[in-house]
Chain A
């Protein structure tokens, strides 16, 4: 039993009109579920994307400046790689030269590991299966530093390659499987799978999950172009050095005009998470409209409560109840509706939110993280806040009734 008699009165009043109170609180339940579920969905989506991108967040990608135009090349595994091209290039080349690579090494060596990457989309055949994929050529000394193997070993000779897990699944590749690279009409190069990479997820530097990775010697043996790198990657030891490294590179290499461009993966990740946060906020605002509808319902119930209890208010005032206590009584009543509605809404949003996250994000790995669950108390607070705010005017009206007039009411 509540010790506060005013709170006791409010609880009894809510109980007296239980059905009406439940219906009013139902609006809050729906609003809280909508806000919490949408918030949790957004948080889970952001966490999922962030997790996938974070492995490459410390990578700077240096490419030849080609004027800023962008074209998309679909890789064999279905991923997409953005490379720049356009009319702005001073010499029509779209590769980083060996000299530039050495300059980059000289300028940025202090910031982390630097390696050059060759890449090309090409046709491959595995037995009777054929398709397109991306072939990467890297320095074999660097390969163990940047890749993790699921099984097998790193390439030790020119005809050994590693494959991404998605490519392995698509073509049924196992250790030792032979792959023919190139168009059969123009001659092919046969390589053997020495290792299968662990899944790397979305990445801005290389999409290796659906690619073949071999040595630079293998690559230049097939495609030529020695010293004409597609890109140079810099794996930063400290992500906070990204801005300084970019400045150093551009200051020196772009001194006489744009020669290189530098893509900052962390910026890209920030941009993606920021976009997701904006979208989450927008969706939550839409969900919040249901709470406004609930607020109207609560306001209506509270006004009915005041009208029905005018005489009771007169009695309370005549026997020594202050105006503030009458106000408190009605605010408590609104608060109780909000608390009950928000409580049920919170419980329901844990269930429904879980299902929404599973359906929309595809994984619930991040559901029980603080970043996700924080939306439950947040939605509860908004629900209770809106309820109490809806009770302010009715409470004010009740407290300002003339006690004599109120006592005359039937």
Chain B
């Protein structure tokens, strides 16, 4: 049986119109990512890595070309549809963790669950996910500023997984962590990959890219 694609870019171009002139952030990019792949997107600053990640993450839509996420073309989707797709299909892991500071670790993980399911978690999924990434019940009652960088990133991973997304998007997931903690986070991501999760990470770090099945290099908005 052939591999099933979860992401397909067909001649995707993204142009940002500016007063000084149009900026072409992605230029005619065509690629396909299959279910269960671990992809590292690499390239110098300004090469279009973040733009590509934002497109795949449904935070933005292409100017030209088609982008299919789990078979759905996002180019003509309205904001509400993109948000719903994001909630159900994509899990984000950010370099700066991006947890909600006024919510506890538990509530941060619970938040997307409540947004999607419109009811409280009675299955214990949130608690189990936190435990699986090494956050115990006591720690889960702390707010993000009271946690270390590594602990925050673990909470962030649990939050990304809570709605069982098809795709995990990581933007420099170890960028704000020391090497030891970074390695622990990477071990977690590798374990998730082993479980069949599709992981796409933007990174400058060669140590991160060595875990990837495939590396996509971008230069000036083009796949090189």
Distance A188 CA – B86 CA, assembled complex (angstroms)? 104
Select the stretch in B2-10, B37-45, B52-60 that faces chain A. B52-60
Q: Is B216 interfacial (CB 8 A cutoff)?
A: no
Contact B111 A5, beta carbon cutoff 8 Å: yes
Q: Is A80 interfacial (CB 8 A cutoff)?
A: no
- With contacts A318-B86, A319-B159, A320-B112 taken as known, whether A8 is within 8 angstroms of B107 at the C-beta atoms is yes
Which of chain A's residues have a CB closer than 8 A to the CB of B83? Answer: 317, 320-323
List residues 38-64 of chain A with CB under 8 A from any CB of chain B.
none
- With contacts A5-B107, A318-B57, A323-B79 taken as known, whether A407 is within 8 angstroms of B116 at the C-beta atoms is no
Interface string of B85-117 (1 = CB under 8 A from A): 011100010100011111100010011101110
Which of chain A's residues have a CB closer than 8 A to the CB of B111? Answer: 5, 319
List residues 161-180 of chain B with CB under 8 A from any CB of chain A.
163
List residues 1-41 of chain A with CB under 8 A from any CB of chain B.
3, 5, 8-9, 12-13, 16
Question: Which of A9, A314, A323, A325 lies in contact with B103, CB distance below 8 A?
Answer: A9
Contact A9 B100, beta carbon cutoff 8 Å: yes
Which of chain A's residues have a CB closer than 8 A to the CB of B107? Answer: 5, 8
Counting residue pairs across A and B whose Cβ atoms lie within 8 Å, the total is: 62
Q: Is B84 interfacial (CB 8 A cutoff)?
A: yes
Contact A322 B80, beta carbon cutoff 8 Å: yes
Q: Is A283 interfacial (CB 8 A cutoff)?
A: no
CB distance from A284 to the nearest CB of B (A): 38
CB distance from A403 to the nearest CB of B (A): 5
Question: Which of A8, A321, A323, A403 lies in contact with B115, CB distance below 8 A?
Answer: A321
List residues 33-83 of chain B with CB under 8 A from any CB of chain A.
54, 57, 59-60, 79-80, 83
Contact B114 A5, beta carbon cutoff 8 Å: yes
Question: Which of B60, B79, B88, B100 lies in contact with A315, CB distance below 8 A?
Answer: B100
Contact B116 A320, beta carbon cutoff 8 Å: yes
**Taking CB as reference atom, which chain A residue is nearest B110?**
A5
Contact B102 A16, beta carbon cutoff 8 Å: yes
Which of chain B's residues have a CB closer than 8 A to the CB of A314? Answer: 98
Q: Is A404 interfacial (CB 8 A cutoff)?
A: yes
Which of chain A's residues have a CB closer than 8 A to the CB of B116? Answer: 320
Q: Is A312 interfacial (CB 8 A cutoff)?
A: yes
CB distance from A321 to the nearest CB of B (A): 6
Contact A320 B59, beta carbon cutoff 8 Å: no
B-side interface mostly: helix
Which of chain B's residues have a CB closer than 8 A to the CB of A8? Answer: 103, 107
Distance A327 CA – B59 CA, assembled complex (angstroms)? 18
CB distance from B224 to the nearest CB of A (A): 24
Q: Is B120 interfacial (CB 8 A cutoff)?
A: yes
CB distance from A6 to the nearest CB of B (A): 9
Contact B102 A319, beta carbon cutoff 8 Å: no
Q: Is A296 interfacial (CB 8 A cutoff)?
A: no
Contact B103 A407, beta carbon cutoff 8 Å: no
Distance A131 CA – B99 CA, assembled complex (angstroms)? 87
Contact A319 B92, beta carbon cutoff 8 Å: yes
- With contacts A3-B120, A323-B80 taken as known, whether A318 is within 8 angstroms of B98 at the C-beta atoms is yes
Q: Is A316 interfacial (CB 8 A cutoff)?
A: yes
- With contacts A321-B83, A322-B80 taken as known, whether A316 is within 8 angstroms of B59 at the C-beta atoms is no
Which of chain A's residues have a CB closer than 8 A to the CB of B120? Answer: 3
Contact B98 A315, beta carbon cutoff 8 Å: yes
List residues 367-410 of chain A with CB under 8 A from any CB of chain B.
403-404, 407
Distance A312 CA – B115 CA, assembled complex (angstroms)? 16
Distance A321 CA – B92 CA, assembled complex (angstroms)? 13
List residues 300-341 of chain A with CB under 8 A from any CB of chain B.
311-312, 314-323, 325
Which of chain A's residues have a CB closer than 8 A to the CB of B100? Answer: 9, 312, 315-316
Q: List 15 A-B contacts (CB under 8 A).
A: A3-B120, A5-B115, A9-B103, A12-B103, A13-B102, A312-B100, A316-B100, A317-B83, A319-B86, A319-B115, A320-B112, A320-B115, A320-B116, A321-B83, A323-B79
Given contacts A8-B107, A322-B84, 12 further A-B contacts (CB under 8 A): A5-B110, A9-B102, A317-B59, A319-B111, A319-B159, A320-B86, A320-B112, A320-B115, A320-B116, A323-B83, A325-B115, A407-B94
Interface residues of B (CB under 8 A from A): 54, 57, 59-60, 79-80, 83-84, 86-88, 92, 94, 98-103, 107, 110-112, 114-116, 120, 159, 163
Interface residues of A (CB under 8 A from B): 3, 5, 8-9, 12-13, 16, 311-312, 314-323, 325, 403-404, 407
Top 5 A-B pairs, shortest CB-CB distance: A320-B87, A12-B102, A315-B98, A5-B114, A320-B86
